[in-house]
Structure 1
């Protein structure tokens, strides 16, 4: 929804303002800042909820508490009910986070259900920063002796601070006195190791109904908006399910649902997305990739996603093309991110050593916890590069809790994600419901469109492989070396280490 910058310690206003200006693309509608002795908050706003009254930094009653938020608080109405509507001065969902912190201090973070990175400041010196448990919204920090700096993207930091930049860990809050404290896990603590299935692949209607109702609730919660909202429709199962639920919600509210698909001419993803859109009756848009726009987009993609992993770059190119188009028509989109990690959708989940149920369960938990390094980074950056917010209903805490409580044996049957498919029979056309899994870069046609260009990128890599080795980074291919060169040109000084998720892991 936005971009934030915060600082505590020996503040330099000019530095903070330069940092904020570098992430203006995340919130082109408005900007605001507040400066107190030894603390600074800045905000670039993408106006989605309470367009007229939701300016940030938000200030509490009495003018002594201040907050900036990047993200959405989906249960803000429940928080208003619990704390008292008389406290609230705007219709912004972010104000719920402000009053939760005023009422309960850091413990108030436990009230929040949503995706967020936030910074909170009081006039008496309290300062707190926090990030949602899955890391849907990005946050980075750089710690110097005299000041600690925070920002939504790595590019925000001054060149001299870039060697100090680290990922702020999901599910943690930080205060000057208390340091880093975990307040939530990516996988909720009450999720117990899944019990063994009495008979793998055999389940009752209760489980199927529970999956359907939980996913429907998560999608509907993410339809809140005072401006346009759509769905990225890849043609695969997960985005088709999201689109089906969103289309029904939009119809009940008398609104059209825009859907957006991208692919090369004749690609399987475009064809499949068209089938879903016609079935649901959505306002469908297609972006057709050409070699020319792919060539133009590759350098922009590497710089936008702040990453050089080849598989991530390949899938991000069509995402960036789609985001650029969709941002001119809506302010927010829903995507299908997270379903594969929860329901074992990737092929490698069905190979050794994950043919053992306990090993599979551990790997699913691990990959959900690591999403913020890879897929969620791509999802956030490609959309926010054009001031477009992406929402990920499959990573709702209730969906995560339910999915990871299912015996892993039920996820080892074929076709992959059979439980999820059965839960949405009748919602999605059968030819899509039972369609086999394709990687986005393959189904969209991006792999073929990129092949020639990637060879050129690799040829131009030159000495970057040697420089990467000197920095402790192993580049596996010339293609990756080419992407590393582009990444280094944009983010010179950043240390490419595991704290930033910048080692190729796929």
Structure 2
């Protein structure tokens, strides 16, 4: 993973990068930093200037400095991982491999052919010197961040993995580059005409119609002309379209299940041979996705066998179904004897208010029930729901493989530390997103990925900081398997057809809603976010199934949502964790309890504005 940046202008760009923005880029790539500057003069004696800045987090193969410049003066910046599609040998670096392929690609269709073959997350910037053009973009899901900022007054455009929050002063604002395709900038037109011209090459499923040229391009002023390319070229979508079949099925009889969802209920469903076959297909494809992400690590081939004390893999771990199945599958592929860090974050619960003593009797002689899930106990101020489920699921993993050392890292965050780090770092990483939901999840993920907390050593809890460079996250499971409460609401009001429409929307907006933000947040620690549930093969498999194979929302909470994943976890030998109900991270970690309880998730969050 890397921090990449490019500044394009018709004037000098020596001081184009702000100090904080540069620092945010450098933290993403602490292993190597380098800049390349290009000045090109057109036939009309007019010039354009480019600054390329790259900051490398070395992950596999030989260390490859970026930006990469070839003999023809082409410059390549790559923030991604090739997990398939293009052959990359164990002792090769994917940046070097991609740069070679692109050096032999002169025409737009050749560039698109290379990018269409890549399986894995990426954002890139590629300067073609002979063509006087700049290519850039993000993968189909937008798993890597790329932002843009456009200034007509300065005739300047900036692309960057991460930026810095801009006060509301009228200055150009940053926006995420829409992950609808890749873009080609005409640098000659910029120099000679003073206009910014971008052509879009969209992601297209075979047989689909390209999106309209009137697509809303966030963050660009009227100075920038953005149009679909007129050659009809496109990138081949790396996944199959979602199966929209909505044939009505007979609901399962509820009296066949326990009053409270249990692992035994899943055993009942697994007795169906066809159901078990589908479950094992999911296990196979998801296991392979996890393998790709836990075995592509820095220095695997050249280094001596690692010691047991080294930790390469960490998992954002709430103890819920998504994280526990990732841990169980990682256990299959992480070398025997190696530790896996389970990162569990909790925000300190506020002391409950003492009730005033009163001599008045309660009306109607009714006692108000006690909410045991809203305040801390004296013994554990961090006993939030995710800590409780995390500890319970840890025991299951230990039973599954008692020979593995599972580091359950308890990351405890006080209100004071939250406020300090939000102001210092997190607000700039969440930016340009700005809702209450972005604040809550961004803060929770930042502290979790940092991995600074305590872990058990014998019978004691001792200070511990995870050194793992790879952080697995379960994002993508809820979006594909109907895991959110809004999916159940939609199903209850509009049936299977409404649920399918909701799932189509979920994957369509995941780049702008989640992935860019989470990549910026996790990358700030010099670590790489990896998303097994968004592996192209996993998505294609799930997209190919009818919706009722993935979820049955006629069944109760803790069973019906993400049913296929729960069955897979049960097939792997997991127990009670297979029926833990979905709890959003902001509620499970209790960060939402620290702020204004009357806020809505979609509200603009004033806490993210630093000036």
TM-score, normalised to structure 1, is: 0.80
Q: Residue 96 in 1 paired to residue 213 in 2? A: no
Q: 1:356 to 1:408 in 2, by over 3 A?
A: same
Q: Give the aligned CA root-mean-square deviation in angstroms.
A: 3.1
Counterpart residue number, 2:518: 379
Q: Deviations over 1:70-101 (max 9, x none)?
A: 2222227x4247xxx9xxxx732222322332
Counterpart residue number, 2:528: 389
Whether the aligned pair in 1 keeps the contact of 2:427 and 2:610 (CA below 8 Å) is no
Counterpart residue number, 2:147: 140
Whether the aligned pair in 1 keeps the contact of 2:243 and 2:545 (CA below 8 Å) is no
Q: Residue 302 in 1 paired to residue 427 in 2? A: yes
Counterpart residue number, 2:391: 274
Whether the aligned pair in 1 keeps the contact of 2:246 and 2:497 (CA below 8 Å) is no
Once residues 98 and 195 of structure 1 are traced to their aligned partners in structure 2, the CA distance between those partners, rounded to angstroms, is: 45
Once residues 8 and 286 of structure 2 are traced to their aligned partners in structure 1, the CA distance between those partners, rounded to angstroms, is: 40
Q: Alignment length, in residue pairs?
A: 455
Counterpart residue number, 2:369: none
Q: 1:229 to 1:58 in 2, by over 3 A?
A: farther
Counterpart residue number, 2:200: 180
Counterpart residue number, 2:245: 194
Counterpart residue number, 2:68: 58
Q: 1:11 to 1:42 in 2, by over 3 A?
A: farther
Shift of 1:301: 3.3
The SS at the match of 1:163 is: coil
Counterpart residue number, 1:130: 137
Task: Select 2:57's aligned residue among 46, 50, 61.
Answer: 46
Task: Select 2:449's aligned residue among 323, 334, 349.
Answer: 323
Once residues 157 and 68 of structure 1 are traced to their aligned partners in structure 2, the CA distance between those partners, rounded to angstroms, is: 25
Q: Residue 348 in 1 paired to residue 486 in 2? A: yes
Counterpart residue number, 2:415: 291
Q: 1:65 to 1:478 in 2, by over 3 A?
A: closer
Q: Residue 362 in 1 paired to residue 501 in 2? A: yes
Q: 1:316 to 1:80 in 2, by over 3 A?
A: closer
TM-score, normalised to structure 2, is: 0.68
Q: Residue 258 in 1 paired to residue 382 in 2? A: no
Write the mapping of 1:65-84 to structure 2, written as runs, cut at 5 A.
65-75=74-84, 78-80=86-88
The SS at the match of 1:333 is: strand
Once residues 545 and 147 of structure 2 are traced to their aligned partners in structure 1, the CA distance between those partners, rounded to angstroms, is: 34
Counterpart residue number, 2:218: none
Counterpart residue number, 1:439: 584
Shift of 1:150: 1.0
Task: Select 1:425's aligned residue among 564, 570, 573.
Answer: 570
The SS at the match of 2:87 is: helix
Shift of 1:210: 1.6
The SS at the match of 1:304 is: helix
Shift of 1:333: 0.5
Once residues 342 and 569 of structure 2 are traced to their aligned partners in structure 1, the CA distance between those partners, rounded to angstroms, is: 19
Whether the aligned pair in 1 keeps the contact of 2:430 and 2:520 (CA below 8 Å) is yes
Whether the aligned pair in 1 keeps the contact of 2:290 and 2:326 (CA below 8 Å) is yes
Shift of 1:192: 4.5
Task: Select 1:412's aligned residue among 541, 552, 556.
Answer: 552
The SS at the match of 2:51 is: strand
For the pair shown, which has the larger CA radius of gyration, 1 or 2? 2
Whether the aligned pair in 2 keeps the contact of 1:133 and 1:184 (CA below 8 Å) is no
Q: Residue 15 in 1 paired to residue 15 in 2? A: yes
Q: Deviations over 1:313-370 (max 9, x none)?
A: 2233222222223575122200101100000001110114664212211211111121
Whether the aligned pair in 2 keeps the contact of 1:235 and 1:432 (CA below 8 Å) is yes
Task: Select 1:170's aligned residue among 179, 184, 193.
Answer: 179
Write the mapping of 1:232-243 to structure 2, written as runs, cut at 5 A.
232-243=316-327
Q: 1:286 to 1:195 in 2, by over 3 A?
A: same
Q: 1:304 to 1:210 in 2, by over 3 A?
A: same
The SS at the match of 1:215 is: helix
Task: Select 1:31's aligned residue among 15, 30, 33.
Answer: 33
Shift of 1:162: 4.8
Once residues 209 and 2 of structure 1 are traced to their aligned partners in structure 2, the CA distance between those partners, rounded to angstroms, is: 35
Q: Which ranges of structure 1 fall in alignment gaps of 5 or more residues?
A: 459-475, 491-506
Once residues 409 and 221 of structure 1 are traced to their aligned partners in structure 2, the CA distance between those partners, rounded to angstroms, is: 29
Q: Which ranges of structure 2 fall in alignment gaps of 5 or more residues?
A: 40-47, 105-109, 187-197, 206-236, 253-271, 300-311, 348-381, 399-403, 453-464
Q: 1:43 to 1:234 in 2, by over 3 A?
A: same
Counterpart residue number, 1:6: 6
> Which protein has the bigger helix share?
1
Whether the aligned pair in 2 keeps the contact of 1:350 and 1:412 (CA below 8 Å) is no
Once residues 603 and 244 of structure 2 are traced to their aligned partners in structure 1, the CA distance between those partners, rounded to angstroms, is: 38
Q: Residue 249 in 1 paired to residue 269 in 2? A: no
